[in-house]
Every structure is written in C-alpha cells, then in structure tokens.
Structure 1
C-alpha cells in the first residue's frame, strides 16, 4: 500500500506481532531508521522524504507498537524492548547496519536502538531523553490523566482542524502541506487510542540510565523549545562525547530547519 506515494510495508515480528513501516528516500542508499514523536506514526516520513532523497539515503519510519498499523505489544513492554523490534526490522529489510534518528519523544527509542551493534550513528532532533523531566513524562506517572490529555487533544484537533495540532509544536507560520502532514501523523498515531503514548511516556520516565556504546552522536536542539528541555540533552552529549548544535527555534521549527543537516550527517560513513 502507499500513502501519498510513500510505500508502507508490514513485517511479522518473532513474537507474531505486525510492525508497519513507511519507506521513503533513495531505494539504493544507506539506511536511516527514523523514530517518530509521542504520539506519532510512520507518516512522519512525509517530513523527511525530501531531505532523505537529496542525501541519497533509504528512510524507514516504523509505527512503534500500538501506533498506526502496528500491533500493540504485551503489557509488560519496556523501552529497551524496542531494540529487538528495530533489529527485526533491519533483518526484514536485509540490512546489516543502519543509522538512527530520534525526534521529540522518539529520542529515547533512538537511544535504545543505538545500544544495538547494528547501529552506526545516532542523531537526535528536538529530542527528549529517558528521565529528562519534561511535562508529559511527569504526567505519565498518573496514566488516567495522561490518557485524558491525549483524548482531549484528539477531540480538539478534530473540531479545530489541522492548525490546532501544529500549533502545539511551533509558533511559526507553516505551509498548508506541512500543517496537513503534522495533523495526519497525529491522527494516524491515535488510531488505536491513547494506550501507546501513555505506555511509552511511562517507560521513558521510569527507565534507569543505560550505557551507550561507542556510537557517534550528534544533537540539534532549539533554544526556544518548550516541549523538550535542553539541559538533559546537553548533559548526555557531554557524557558520551557527542556534538550539540543549538538552534534559535522552537520544537517543530528545529526539525524543519535542521532535517537536511541531520539526514546528511547520518548518511556519512562512520
């Protein structure tokens, strides 16, 4: 099947679950696996398809478990379990190694994927990190409040239109196409309800710090980002010897400005 010309594939995981993902960019290029936000979906690929094609990379954007078309996982699912799904995705694509990108709440899952010996580089854009202390991970300790938060957001988005979704992520003026893309990603994410974002935020909030391998790390983060705190990300960069680029932009604005640089960096050989 395809969504706006982007190919969607479903693969069967070892435990029988289905993992859906979108393929974009250059078919013959090196592989980048992008981790969408919370909530988010494989439709996040629409924001990255152009830069991926320009950089000559093949982009894979999976619906993480419980989002979009991917099956929900067992109830005891944790953050680090994502590494197994990520490795199964690479095996399904016959890919030996990949680089990973994490946007927003996808940051912790990109870091989990980076613990695999099949990950060569990791880029974080406007990302949260495990235990980073943002508002939503704090709310995740009270699950019914967080579920109500996402239900209210979905209701407001349906009645107020796509702009209501985009305005939660940026103050800048966006093209109608970008607004529609951001809204479509949000609505697709919540096709199965709010269980997936609540589960992921709780997992990210409660996961103990874990050691990262000697994997090249680069971060792009906005100084005006009110959705993801900058200090925890800076601390991580200092700890692992990565590189942090500060951008005078807000949450989504940073992604829109820096996506070509992040994808191009990920396309390079380590």
Structure 2
C-alpha cells in the first residue's frame, strides 16, 4: 500500500469538512479523470510516458462523526483509492490518500498530485469565506436566542426552508437523526433544525458545528446537548438552511 499525507493549517476546519462532505466537490478537483458517469469516475495514471494504468472507480463517501470524511474509490478488480479528510481541532485538517492494488508503482506516483488538487480546492473555497466574520460569529453560542420566538422568526425569514417531515423517534434516536440531516445538507454552512411535538428542540449549526441548542420538555427549559438523548415521540421537523453566516446577525440583535 502507498500512502501520502498533507496538513492544511486553517482555523476554519469545520468549513473544510462541510466542503469535503459534498462528493461533487471532491470529484471536480481530482486529477487524472478521463470520464465521469454518476458516481463512477474513470482515472488514468501514467509514468515515464510509456506505462499507464486505467480503471473505472465507484466513489463511495462515508462520514465518521462530525470531523472525518472518507471516500473509497474501488474498481471491479478490487483496486482501491482511499481519501480521508480529518479535522485536527483548531489547527486545521489532515489530508491522506492511499492506494492498494495492481500497478502500485504507477498509481502511487500520482497520489501526491491528488493531495495537491484537493488542497487547492479547499483553499479556493476558503478564499470565498470572510475569515474575520467566520472567527467572530463562529466563536459565539446562540442557545439563549433559540429560546426566543422573536429570534426564531427573524432567523426563519432570512433562511430557506429545505425540508419538513413528520417522524416518530425513540429515546436515544434524536442525535443520529440530526446527524443524518447535517450530512444531507452539508453543502450549506448554516443549518437550523426545529422539532415540535410533546417536547421541542431547536438546533443551530454553523459549518457542521453546533452553535445553539434549546430544549423544552415537561415545561422545563434546557440548553444541554445530552438532554437530546432523553427525547422521544412524534415530531414535526423543519429544516432551514442558509448560505452565509451573516444570517446570524439577526440573532445578534436579540442578544
């Protein structure tokens, strides 16, 4: 097996992970691509201009927790390229790409180029984000704002309704359900989730990181994430998304 790694130092690791969770972003920056059809990419690697390896790889993404994104690219012969983007706290992210399979001496030489292109894609995405704004807004907690109807109304007016559904959740299932929503809308930096029923929960995420939580159960308020595990019953779910952290300025006015 051949492995290459690279570190990217940037405090906006959550924004990087959110970008990496979109398969289209990864596929669009891959070098050596000679064809794409749905989730299958055709890659061609060459060495010394005389030797080459070509294969059609199925792209399979997986999200491990909130801070690790993994892509497995596998062809019919079992040759596998694995790409991992993992958050390293506030210091940045670590990129790694590995290959196991036939003609490793050809494909292995192209792994560093894959890292470089993914790194360039990440840096291009970060260049679109206002760094100071990310640091100031991202460092704040908006849990108290989520307890106020006036704040919620303003947040909803500035966001886009992306999903509504009625769902029954057992005790301990809310967190995994929320993680699924975060994965589904990972290409949006701002996600607001509300669930109402016999109890109520409101969650605010910025670049995949929880920035606000409010729970109302049995007439008691809570701002503790652990209390989500004790919720159960039928819920009406609303998911709102936004493309800019500046939306949170409406909550700042309520603080």
User: 1 or 2, which has the higher strand percentage?
Assistant: 2
Query: Which interval holds the TM-score relative to the shorter structure?
Result: under 0.3
**Structure showing the higher helix proportion among its residues:** 1
TM-score (norm 2): 0.27
Structure number with bigger Rg: 2
